[in-house]
Structure 1
Amino acid sequence: MLYLALTVTSAGSIERPMRRAYSTIVSASLAPVLIMGACLVLAMSPTLVPSELSGLVRYGPFLLAMFGGVIGWWFNRGRAVFVMLLLLVCYWLLVGNGAEFQPDGLAFLRIATLYLIPVNLLILGFTAERGVLNPRGIARMLILGLQIFVMLMLAGQPDVGSALYHLLDTRFFASTGILNAMPHPAMILSVLAVILLLIRYKPLETSFAAAIIAITVATVMGPGAIQYGYLAATAVVLAGLAQEAWRMAFVDDLTGLAGRRALGHAMAELGSQYTIAMLDVDHFKKFNDTYGHDVGDIVLKKVARELARVGGGGKAFRYGGEEFTVVFAGRSAEKSYEPLDALRKRIAENKITVPEKNKTVSVTISVGLSERDEDETDPWGVLKRADQKLYDAKQSGRNRISS
């Protein structure tokens, strides 16, 4: 008989993912907000920047873009490398002296960046990561190069550059102030791109949205703010790349729980009292063999959602495969038992649907629980005992807690 776990139908189960999504948005947006706020203050009060550092502000976007490109290359984040190259080139087009272009051609290049950046960042925000040194990653770089090449070729033709400038510099209605600071199609495109990227609520995508906001705000403020806009844009993408690297290292992609590396850090910070639980999904191999790995992944995700709200101060981690760990810092085994038992019952009482088989199945978990002894110094020893208790729970019939 096969058993497993999960609940998806209650109103609470809908609200909890929404709260987690909101928390993720806030977390991913904090660094961009701080960076853009600082750059906005500097743009409004340029005298705050000492004259000795004015060159650093002017060339900062170049430095950050190159540094971010190297970091993105190191972590094989091709999208970040692409964005940094795009920002670097667009900033060069804006701050370069433009001696090789006619005024209309130079104006076309500068207005074209207002379309080029949101379009590319929006597309990248909704495409999968493909790395750098592979056919798809190289293809992206070639596409960027082609876009820049076409722009430069068109800008080199005075009549063409002038015609394209007037085409891109469209206003849908007579306006003044902010609404007249940039072309209306570019403004609408930027707002749409920001909204769609924020819906993704992932660190790198959020940084793309913040970069668009920074450049749009700088454009509205005027030419004197452009360097601060690009400084903020490159800085927020670099911050998003750092958050993405952290997520790769510490968060399990499938379940969204903290991973094995994060567990190691949590274990190192435990105090004098704690309890560790090891648990896994009963008969999971048989479940995979019967229904397929895709359905097995769905089960793990749903179990992980329940684990994320285990209660009792417990912190859940994916240990590996179908095994999970819950750490209760500052709590005894007796106090940790109740939230774990409630978790076990919630999982056992709910079913999942297997569409291909047109049937529903139950899922259960077995749990091993161990508390730190007074003279014990190694938390991994406590985890090992919890793992043995997990084995005892399975030997005793599964769908139970052994402590």
Structure 2
Amino acid sequence: LLKSHGLLKRHYGVCRCRGLWLVAKLSRLHLPSGCFTEIDVQGFAPPDSNEHNEIQKENRSLGENRKCRSTGEQLISSKEETLTSEKGRWTSSLLPFPCAGFSPPYSDSKKLIYHLKGCQGLGNKESSSFTSVVAAAKVCGAAAESPSVKRLHLLVADKDFSFKAGQWVDFFIPGVSVVGGFSICSSPRLLEQERVIELAVKYANHPPALWIHNQCALDSEVAVRVGGEFFFDPQPADASRNLVLIAGGVGINPLLSILRHTADLHRARASTGGGCEVGTVKLFYSAKNTSELLFKQNILDLVNEFPEKIACSLHVTKQTTQISAELQPYITEGRITEKEIRDHISKETLFYICGPPPMTDFFSKQLENSHVPKEHICFEKWW
């Protein structure tokens, strides 16, 4: 149908779903073959030239990879740039709870992932970074991490559910038609040992975030599905790499997962003498004030446990109260500077950046201007 209307030129597909235009650059969504969703094409009509040009302009401005959905329908592609057959269709029957018209694969999160080629960097280069497993999960813990962020522990019993440090989950809530997208902040080892993942969700008017802050309780049942190309997954045969992690605000979540994963790798190597060899990790983390520096005690505990391997520089931009004596050695008032990052550039170093678009744009551009190879830079944007 799309081809018959000439809408696959330049590998773009456009379809009207319930009155909204959905756009996807079909060859760049990196979904596993056969992972599609049903598309409602009732009332389909090709766009006029001005509307089509605006769609293409918007899609280019949002980068290579984007999430597209509207009230449950998504425009999805395969590597062969073809749409779905009945065999590959997602339906609500795949969820562990009834939810009419609910089609999983992509989420309506306020997140865009800009993946520079090769930023996986270490290990599993041929594996897909998306999984088809939609797993039932139960809330087994909840607490306030900051005045605006709530921390959740989810028990995921399904042994087929796994993730790589830095990835996110699509978050499906019974009775809520919008799907959330939240980065995992725990390490893969916690899931392996206890079948638990941890999320930290900032308060927002986005329906999934509102549900988490206002309605979520112990034993609430949801479903989760892993995705994302922002991850660190070294293998034993890989050369040791240093990491620089640059976080802004709630962008600490995937980077904390990576930091915790490197700590687990250091512990495993110290106890067995084998496994993955990881170099040093330096975390630069900026927030408005110390109360919004999430997981700061967890971060400092890792710094103290591995003083030769892990270091951090915590920045506050709008601090109005006195900084505690415990935090003072690690706190800098003001933004993270270009010089601080430039001092850590080397051919063995990988850079992971997650935060607001202005910060992410600035540091990714500065690293490129400093001749850091693109395959050594990986960043995730929030908007």
The TM-score, its normalising length taken from structure 2, stands at 0.23
Query: Quick check: which has more Rg, 1 or 2?
Result: 1
Structure showing the higher strand proportion among its residues: 2
The TM-score, its normalising length taken from structure 1, stands at 0.23
Structure showing the higher helix proportion among its residues: 1
Where relative contact order (Cα < 8 A, 6+ residues apart) is larger, the structure is 1
